[in-house]
Amino acid sequence: MYSTAIWTSFSTILRREVRRFTRIWPQTLVPPVITMSLYFVIFGSLIGSRIGQMGGFSYMEFVVPGLIMMAVITNSYSNVASSFYSAKFQRNVEELLVSPTPNWVIMAGYVLGGVSRGLIVGFVVTLIALFFTDLGVQHLGMTVAIVFLAAVLFSLAGFINAIFANSFDDISIIPTFVLTPLTYLGGVFYSIDLLSPFFQGLSKLNPVLYMVNAFRYGVLGVSDINVAWAFVGVLVFIALLFGWGLHLMSHGKRLRH
Amino acid sequence: MTAALSIRNLEKTYDNGFQALKGISFDVQPGDFFALLGPNGAGKSTTIGIICSLVRKTAGSVSIFGVDIDKDFAAAKQLLGVVPQEFNFSQFEKVYDIVCTQGGFYGMPRKLAEERTEKYLKQLGLWDKRSVQARMLSGGMKRRLMIARALIHEPRLLILDEPTAGVDIELRRSMWTFLQQINAEGTTIILTTHYLEEAESLCRNIAIIDQGDIIENTSIRSLLKTLNREVFILDVREPLAECPDLGGFEGRLQDETSLEVTVEKGQSLNDLFTRLGEQDVAVVSMRNRANRLEELFVSLLADAKQEGEG
């Protein structure tokens, strides 16, 4: 395919993905916003006022970047996982597989669809956060870069989950048993300085910790970890997942028998 | 002349060890209306799956208008349109979006995709339903939607896997007319169907596949010439108490006004009518008991089975 045709194909997939999640906005955009608003009220405002300072900031200031990142991660992941698995389930993925669209363009289209939903939800959650706290951004470029890369990474993970899934249950197992624990234990609600050295070490094996802290560094200027490692780690994982996804599409037997 | 479709020694063995295709070869010429027939599980859908890249072949080669699908995947796919057996579109998308989006997947500029969407939805009688979600369409409309979608990039080779399954007679005939029209305009068509009447009326050439092997590949005209016997039902004016004397013809009474007569190759229908006339039996109408191609199809499959057992 020529580059213009590839671009047309990519933008068509992306447009269809955006059309899908905006068509069903009460399922895709409203619930995460309500959930995050509740987190702001309960953890940030009600409980947070009794906790006092964390990392030199009020608890509300501390927790907001983590909650925004959590919204971006979970929505990017679940958008691609559910959309691509539905396409497999209804077999309309065949529309793409029989077309000349290269596999990497199919992946890129779905991933950017997930990124779009993650960023839209993240933006709305940020606006709501402004009702609870002032959100000054210390490093704008880093903030935007890490939120975008995290959305790409978890969209890719959702894509691979969808390739392996054989039922709708299979696309909820990873978010429930892997993604949620990693996010909750990834420094969203606390600084790992509060943990014993053993659990600090254990937490550093959690990739979500690096993304949450890099984002918090971008917003507040503080982090529990070296931010450079966060970028290196995210980029390495993106490369690995992209390669794996491409391999599954080109040689795997879950889409083509 | 380069074949529209050229298949050589195509083999497919699934992971469970089932050999769906045992090295089939056949060509379809440009402009042909070709029937690929076979019983359920014979290997038709596997063959189509390999051609359109939804199934990975074990061995062999496939070329579309001379383009090897292994060498230039994208160019081969531009030449091919496929209408699958099962509905494979998003049930929640609008009819218009399904067709227009498919144009985008083939790299078509939006404006061109919109023009073609309108053209094919109108031709297939779906324009009024363009804003309706696909799940709201009737079965026949869903089939026509898949045809419109397959035509959006105007492929030179169109493969239809049982396009009229479950479609009522009126709609089936209107689909036949449409397919004949696009074939006349130059599109090569390959059709699989269980309605042998459909294959006989539409197709010029035929391949019959059974248990992963091609057991017949010829023109429909030549195939019909090999028919050794035909069974006719004659409707007579006056009720008959018993079967009249038919001379050399084999026959029986189906009921008091219907006579079933077997005419062997070489026998003349004139002789039959003369003999019935001599006995004052007036025939008011006559029809084949079964479709001629169906008779042949059943007999070819039976022969293949016997050879397999032998």
Residue of A nearest to B149 (CA): A95
| Res. B310: pLDDT tops 60 | no
| Cα Dmax for chain B | 73
* B107/A1 CB distance under 8 A: yes
The lowest-confidence range among B17-21, B112-116, B166-170 is B166-170
Nearest-10 Cα torsion for B128, A97, A239, A217:
20
Using alpha carbons, select from B197, B159, B187 the residue that is nearest to residue B295: B197
Cβ-based contacts of B54 with chain A (< 8 Å):
94, 97-98, 256-257
Cβ-based contacts of B14 with chain A (< 8 Å):
257
Nearest-10 Cα torsion for B209, B194, B35, B308:
20
* A8/B108 CB distance under 8 A: yes
Provide the pLDDT confidence category of residue A59 given band limits of 50, 70 and 90.
confident
> Which residues of B lie inside 8 Å of A (Cβ-Cβ)?
14-15, 49, 52-56, 73-75, 77-78, 80, 82, 84, 86-93, 97, 101-102, 104-110, 149
Q: How far apart are CA B7 and CA B37, in angstroms?
A: 16
Cβ-based contacts of A22 with chain B (< 8 Å):
none
Burial A25-35 (b: 16+ CB within 10 A, else e): eeebbeebbee
> pLDDT tens digits for B177-209?
899 999 999 999 999 887 777 888 889 898 988
Q: Which of A5, A90, A99 lies at the smallest CB-CB distance from B90?
A: A90
Q: Is the pTM of this model over 0.80?
A: yes
Looking at residue B219, the DSSP 8-state letter turns out to be E
> pLDDT tens digits for B70-101?
989 889 999 999 999 889 999 999 999 999 99
State ipTM: 0.84
> pLDDT tens digits for B249-286?
888 888 888 888 888 878 888 888 888 888 888 899 88
Size of the A and B interface in Cβ pairs below 8 Å:
85
Amino acid type, B187 = T
The lowest-confidence range among A18-27, A200-209, B147-156 is A200-209
A214–chain B nearest CA distance, Å? 37
Cβ-based contacts of A10 with chain B (< 8 Å):
none
The number of angstroms, rounded, from the C-alpha of A25 to the middle of its chain's C-alpha atoms is: 18
For chain B, list the domains and their CATH numbers: 5-224 (3.40.50.300), 226-293 (3.30.70.1560)
- The SS3 call for residue B156 is coil
Residue of B nearest to A98 (CA): B52
> pLDDT tens digits for A127-162?
998 888 887 888 889 999 999 999 999 999 999 999
| Res. B290: pLDDT tops 70 | no
Average pLDDT score over residue span A168-173 = 88
Q: What is the pLDDT of residue B247?
A: 82
Q: How far apart are CA B179 and CA A184, in angstroms?
A: 59
Q: How many CB atoms lie within 10 A of CB B12?
A: 24
Nearest-10 Cα torsion for A211, A216, A217, A222:
-120
B43–chain A nearest CA distance, Å? 14
Using alpha carbons, select from A122, A111, A102, A93 the residue that is nearest to residue A14: A111
Q: What is the pLDDT of residue B227?
A: 66
Q: What is the pLDDT of residue A221?
A: 86
